Every structure is written in C-alpha cells, then in structure tokens.
Amino acid sequence: MVIPKLIPNWIDAQEQMVATSEKFPKLDPATGKLLCEVVRSKAADVEKAVQSSKKAQSAWAEVPPVQRGLMLHEIVLGMKNRQKEIAEIVAAETGKSYKDAYGETGGAIALGLFYASEGQRLYGRTTTSGTPNKYAMTVRMPLGVAGLIIAANTPIANVAWKVFPALICGNSAVLKAAENTPATAWIFGEIAKEAGLPPGVLNIIQGYGEEAGAPLVAHPDVAVVSFTGSTEVGRIIQRVAGERFARVSLELGGKNPLVVCDDADLDNAVKWTLLSAFSNAGQRCASGSRIIIFEEVYEAFRDRLVEKTKQLKIGTADDDDLGPIINESQLQNMIAAVAKAKAAGATILIGGDRFSSPGFYMAPTLLENVDPQAEISQCELFGPIAILYRVKDFEEALALANDSPYGLTASIHTRSLHRAVRFCDKVRSGVVVVNAGTYGSEPHMPFGGLKQSGNGTREPGTEALDVYSELKDVYINIDPSQL
Ligand code: NAD
C-alpha cells in the first residue's frame, strides 16, 4: 500500500497542490500517529476544479450513455484489479479491519458495475398524447457539474455512491473528499485516470468542510449538490444551495430503533443488535442506537446482550469486532454525551468511556434508564453506543420507535406476521427490516430517510438517476398530409 506523504487534489487528471500551499495532518485512528498530510483546498482551488469540470462536461454529455457506461466499467475493472490496495488504504485511514475494508470495496465495485450497466438503460418514458399525430416521451438530460460531498465512515462506498450515478447521467463532478479519509478518494482518482476517464470529468478536492465544501455548495456553476453527512451540515447545504435553486440530495443522520418483541428469537435479536450497534464502531448512519424491548423479555434480553458485548474484541485485526472512532474530537463528544446522560440518571450497563490509548477507541457502550426525550435519546452520536428502553406492548414500541427527529432505518424482531407487517407499515423510516439488523443498502435499492434523515431523495438504485438527471418532455408532431 502506498499512501503519498502529501495527498494532492486531482484536477484535469493531474495531481495538483493548492494555491496557498497549506496542508493539514491526517492521523491513523488506531494509533493516533501521523498517517499523511493533505492539501488544504480553499475557494480558489474549488474554483479551479469547478471550471475544469464545467469545461469537460459538454463533451462528456455528448458521449453516448452506453459508451459512458463502458468507460465506468473500465474504472470498475481498475478497482477490481486494485481491490487489495484500496482495502488497505481504507483500513489504514479508518482503523477498520482489512476484512471489513475489503468487503466495503467489494460493495463499491458492485455499485460501479450496476451504474456502468445503467448506460444501456437510462430509461425515459414513452406515453400517449391527447392530440392526434403527436408523440410524447420523456428523456433524461444531464444537469451539468455535480458537487459531491461525503462522510468518512465507509469511504470507498461513499465515493462510489456519488461518482458513478453522477457520471453515468452525463454530468461531470467535483468530489470533496472527507477530511478524515483523503487517501481513499485520492486512489479512486488515480484509478479513474488510469482507466482513461477524460480529464476534468471527475475532479477531486481535499480539505475541510467549511473551507472546501462550502464554496462548492455555493458555486453558481454547480447544478446539483449531493451530500452524505450530518443533519447539521445538511441543513446549511439545503439553505445555501436552495437559495440559488440548485438541486440538492441529502443523505443524513439516523437514530435508528431496533424493536425486540416478547415473541422474538432472542439469540437472533442479540446477534443483530450487536452488529447494528457496534459494527464499524457504530459509525453508520443506519446503526441501531435505540433498542426497544418488551418488558416480558427485557431482563433476559439485556443480560444476554451485555454478556455478548463483554466478549466483543476491539482492534484492527480481521477477527476483531470493532475498531476505533475516526478522530479524537468525535471520541471526546461521545464520552461527554455519555457522562452527561449518567449525570442525569442513566445507568451504564457496560462501557461508557475510552477503551484504550493510544488510538481513538470507544468501549462498546450500553445504557438504560434514559428518558426517551433526553438529548442522548434524540441526537445521533455516531459511535458504539446504544440505549435500551423498556415498553409494555407493540403500540408503545411503535410510538417510541417513531418518537425521533430522524427516520432512516428501523428493525423489528418478532415471530408474528401481524406485528411484522404492521411495523413495516407504520414505522416512519426509509428502510425497515424484519428479524435482522438496522442494515439496508444494496446497489440496486434506493436508500434514504424521512424527517431529518434526508430531504426525500433516494440513492443509489435507479432512483439516484432522478437526482443526477433532468427530465425533458419531447413532443413530435407529424403531418399526415406529408406522407
Ligand atoms: P459532517 O457533516 O461533519 O461532514 C460530512 C462532509 O461534509 C465532510 O466531507 C465535511 O468536510 C463536509 N462539510 C462539513 N461542513 C461543511 C459545510 N459547511 N459545507 C460543505 N461541506 C461541509 O459528517 P461526518 O461527521 O463526517 O459524518 C457523519 C455523519 O454522516 C453522520 O451524521 C451520519 O449519519 C452521516 N451519514 C449518513 C449516511 C446516509 O446515507 N444517510 C451515510 C453515512 C454517513
């Protein structure tokens, strides 16, 4: 694995430094030591990237979608050839195990393959007209330059989720890498260049959100902003990009409920609660952080869960269950939130503090006796922390599941078809799962949330094509007298 000492931007298929020569450090979350430095882009660098993408876009849009798909397929093959290398970089930057990083890279490849094939479809619609001798259809048009801003939690998957659908639709793109995972975006840029993607079709800028992300969001030449990140930043983006009527797609946070009914298979429920709450150290928008348990099985479930949590292995090896938090400041936020909940009367069943130092490890944490209205119940923590709530029946469980500003994913554990179907029907979330975890994203399926988890768009799946393309109605009139 080769991570450059200083991660550059990719502009016009060239590695480029920034105008100010400023840089910032990227630390290894597993050790706290310097992994590399990163160029610190500002508005002038963003401007350069946007102008390059703007210039490249019209020629890219002229390439027939099938050919665009073949080009993306070349990138997919490049990713496949270098899967090991990508996974090593993802593991080094995030602290997740190589095995998990390799799996994530496989997911990104599958997603690329899906969108490469979309070049052969990219369906519009033909329909009837109310007027004789008139033919009506819709076709998909690119929007122009797409501004793509991503989070660090699953870095190669996040790059793929945005870049492939944006490009297949005929847009060019400026990707703002997550500041905590710069090298993953960098290697993707290298693979895209090697695959022969025309210069400027994808530019990648490195830097902090307010310095490099904000100018992209505000830029008048950026027609669509697609963002994966926190609700707090999503709110700013919605406002700024909305002001100039740019299209906005927001994939935001979650505080996802997992309900354990009195008729659940408790072993299965424990297994999926552990995975939902603690995999990727809880740094998943879909993580299960509110565990809602029927009172009849509360103690039995809680005791098994705590026992199994004790057995979790923490570290970066392939047989470890969870790794570190992405940076020290996120870790400190979590420790403070748990301490505040404790001071307000919460019981810490296990964890609650830093696991070890060096490295940014948070011990897997379970809390009970927490008010559902308390800040820790209502706000996303994005770490390995889950709260257990006791409810008396299905109706109370459903009401509590829905009592959240978020609505991303949800899960129910029950043997009852009636409870399962009712829950799927009534829970206010974009994804719902029966008898497994708060997981839910496959390349061909639309993912997204209600309420403060998003703005109603869905990515990936064919639904993402609606984010990255404009519909045009085409009417063709013929004159039968000319036949
Ligand atoms: P974040 O919102 O702090 O940062 C995300 C990205 O936005 C980064 O690249 C950052 O540099 C950039 N950014 C920050 N401020 C900005 C600004 N003012 N203008 C433009 N860009 C700006 O989020 P994070 O802590 O890196 O990631 C965790 C969040 O992401 C969690 O809330 C999580 O739920 C969410 N997430 C959502 C999904 C989903 O699909 N719904 C997937 C993964 C992560």
* Concatenated DSSP letters of 40-76: ---HHHHHHHHHHHHHHHHHHHHS-HHHHHHHHHHHH
CA of 417 to the centre of ligand 1 (A): 37
Q: Does residue 287 contact residue 256 with C-beta atoms inside 8 Å? A: yes
| 8 Å CB contact between 186 and 178 | no
The one-letter amino acid at 120: Q
Phi, psi (5° rounding) for residue 260? Answer: -115, 110
pLDDT for 441 equals 84
The model's pTM is 0.97
Plot region of 472 (φ>0 → left; ψ -120 to 50 → alpha; else → beta): beta
* Neighbouring C-beta atoms of residue 321, cutoff 10 Å: 19
- More confident: 141 or 358: 141
Q: Is the bond leading into 64 cis (omega within 30 degrees of zero)?
A: no
Q: Given pLDDT bands bounded at 50, 70 and 90, which one contains residue 307?
A: very high
Section 2-17 average pLDDT: 97
| Residue 189: partners with Cβ closer than 8 Å, 6 or more residues away | 10, 202, 204
Q: What own/partner pairs with CB < 8 Å and gap ≥ 24 does 353-359 have?
A: 355/314, 356/314, 357/32, 358/31, 358/32, 358/33, 359/29, 359/30, 359/31, 359/32, 359/95, 359/324
Residue 358 pLDDT class (50, 70, 90 cuts) = confident
Mean pLDDT in residue range 32-53: 98
The residues, ordered by sequence, that sit 6+ positions from 219 with a Cβ below 8 Å of its Cβ are 46, 47, 50, 147
168 φ, ψ to 5°? Answer: -65, -30
Is residue 440 predicted with pLDDT exceeding 90?
no
Q: Whose CA is nearest to atom 32 of ligand 1?
A: 230
Ligand 1: list residues with CB < 6 Å. Answer: 149-153, 176, 178-179, 208-210, 213-214, 217, 228-230, 233, 236-237, 251-254, 285, 380, 382, 408
Domain ranges of the chain: 6-252+454-472, 256-434
* Catalytic annotation, residues: 251, 285
Q: What pLDDT is attached to residue 87?
A: 98
The share of the chain scoring above pLDDT 90, in percent, equals 98
CA of 326 to the centre of ligand 1 (A): 13
Spell out where 240-371 has E strands.
Answer: 247-251, 256-260, 288-294, 347-350, 365-368
Could you read off the pLDDT of 284-300 as tens digits, one per residue? 999 999 999 999 999 99
Does 1 score more than 90 pLDDT?
no
CA of 55 to the centre of ligand 1 (A): 28
Tokens coding 117: 């094939």
Which of 96, 219, 227, 233 has most ligand 1 atoms within 8 Å of CB, for mutation? 233
| 296/32 Cα distance (integer angstroms) | 44
Given a cut of 90, whether residue 431 has pLDDT beyond it is yes
What pLDDT digit, counting tens, does each position of 115-145 carry? 999 999 999 999 999 999 999 999 999 999 9
pLDDT tens for 308-335 read 999 999 999 999 999 999 999 999 999 9
- Can you say whether residue 4 is alpha, beta or left, with left for phi > 0 and alpha for psi between -120 and 50 degrees? beta
Closest to 307 measured CA to CA, from 341, 271, 335, 334: 271
How many CB atoms neighbour CB 192 within 10 A?
A: 25
Q: What is the pLDDT of residue 297?
A: 98
Going by C-alpha positions, the residue among 47, 458, 72, 461 that lies closest to residue 228 is 458
Nearest ligand 1 atom to alpha carbon 214:
19
Report the 3 state secondary structure along 2-44: CCCCEECEEECCEEECCCCCCEEEEECCCCCCEEEEEECCCHH
Q: Which of 57, 28, 58, 23 is nearest to 38 (CA)?
A: 23
Does domain 256-434 bear CATH number 3.40.309.10? yes
Q: Which residues pair with 288 in a beta bridge?
A: 256
* pLDDT bucket at 356, cuts 50 / 70 / 90: confident
* Sole residue written with tokens 């424990």: 270
One fold for both 6-252+454-472 and 256-434?
Answer: no
Per-residue pLDDT of 192-220, as tens digits, reads 999 999 999 999 999 999 999 999 999 99
The overall average pLDDT reported for the chain is: 97
With DSSP H G I counted as helix, E B as strand and the rest as coil, what are the percentages for the chain, rounded to 5?
40, 25, 35
Residue 20 exposure: Cα atoms within 13 Å on the Cβ side: 15
CATH code for the domain defined by 6-252+454-472: 3.40.605.10
Task: Write out the E strands in 280-326.
Answer: 288-294
Residue 357 banded pLDDT, cuts 50, 70, 90: confident
- The whole-angstrom separation of Cα 288 and Cα 408 is 10
